[in-house]
């Protein structure tokens, strides 16, 4: 007998028949990952042009994998308890005297606190300059950029992600783009590093605060390819501890140590 979704009973039967169905891009519930070194709390494959958002606890490790070699993981980060505190990309760069992110670098909030630490990075191509694509930039590149069209943009995907946590348009702040790089030439020219790259490149971050993390997986705003090109992104998180007092990243620089002390003071109250 053919099931139809034209009436409530048919729709119910169709929905129940989907039990156990597995697709490439979806969260795993309950979270489980055979390659996670600790208790998994988040396991999800984010589709091309997809998005995800999750609250993670202080000390959690978050691993991102560019599965095929053409993912662009645009990221927003918020203090989970007080979301008015969020990632400040400008301070992240200027406080560390460096325009490029990689292992050993910190993500800082607009309150001078460490939000995340980059523990591992075998990609080396990231962007803290250009921000997210938007409807207008995608329309110029692909002919349209609407959220529910064929070429959705990262900013509108962020809007969907932040809404899950009671946030809105004013909360979509400048982001970091992982796995797609931008370098600044001696003459000030912006040089994109778009790829495609080898599959399986990996980034591991440690949450130093209770956080809301929002990810959008859309083509980089400087991607000049005619086709809308982006591939799946895997996110895995597992429980852990925040930086210890003798953590070498925590103590590496006076500026970094101050930022860690600011975070630790928040949790000492």
Which tokens is 163 given?
Answer: 């809404």
Q: What is the predicted pLDDT for the residue at 2?
A: 59
What end-to-end distance do the CA atoms of the chain give, in Å?
63
Q: What is the predicted pLDDT for the residue at 22?
A: 67
What SS3 string covers 157-171?
HHHHHHHCCCCCHHH
Q: What is the predicted pLDDT for the residue at 10?
A: 85
Q: What is the pLDDT of residues 94-113, one digit of tens each?
A: 999 999 999 999 999 999 99
Closest among 178, 240, 261, 257 to 213, alpha carbons compared: 178
Any idea what DSSP says for residue 244?
A: -
Which tokens is 124 given?
Answer: 């080396």
Q: Which parts of the chain have pLDDT scores under 70? A: 1-3, 22
Q: What stretches of 159-248 adopt beta strand conformation (E)?
A: 176-178, 181-184, 190-193, 201-207, 211-217, 233-238
Give the H/E segment covering residue 11: helix 8-17
Q: Which residues contact 45 (CB under 8 A, 6 or more apart)?
A: 24, 25, 26, 67, 232, 233, 234, 235
């Amino acid at each position: 007998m053919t099931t139809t979704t034209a009436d409530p009973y048919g729709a119910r039967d169709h929905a129940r028949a989907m039990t156990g169905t597995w697709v490439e891009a979806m969260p795993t519930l309950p979270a489980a990952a055979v390659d996670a070194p600790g208790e998994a709390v988040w396991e999800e494959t984010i589709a091309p042009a997809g998005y995800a958002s999750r609250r993670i606890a202080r000390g959690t490790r978050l691993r991102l994998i560019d599965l095929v070699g053409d993912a662009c993981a645009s990221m927003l980060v918020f203090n989970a308890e007080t979301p008015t505190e969020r990632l400040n990309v400008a301070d992240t760069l200027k406080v560390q005297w460096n325009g490029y992110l990689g292992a050993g670098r910190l993500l800082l909030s607009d309150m001078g606190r460490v939000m995340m630490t980059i523990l591992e990075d075998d990609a080396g191509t990231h962007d803290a300059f250009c921000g997210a694509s938007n409807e207008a930039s995608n329309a110029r590149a692909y002919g349209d950029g609407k959220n529910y069209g064929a070429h959705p943009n990262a900013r509108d995907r962020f809007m969907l992600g932040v809404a899950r946590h009671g946030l809105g348009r004013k909360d979509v702040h400048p982001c970091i783009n992982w796995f797609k790089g931008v370098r600044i030439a001696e003459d000030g020219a912006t040089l994109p590093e778009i790829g495609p790259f080898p599959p399986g490149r990996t980034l591991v971050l440690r949450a130093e605060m209770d956080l809301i993390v929002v990810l959008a997986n859309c083509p980089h705003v400087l991607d000049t390819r005619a086709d809308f090109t982006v591939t799946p992104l895997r996110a895995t998180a597992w429980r852990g501890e925040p930086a210890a007092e003798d953590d070498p990243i925590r103590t590496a620089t006076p500026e970094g140590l101050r930022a860690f002390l600011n975070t630790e003071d928040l949790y000492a109250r």
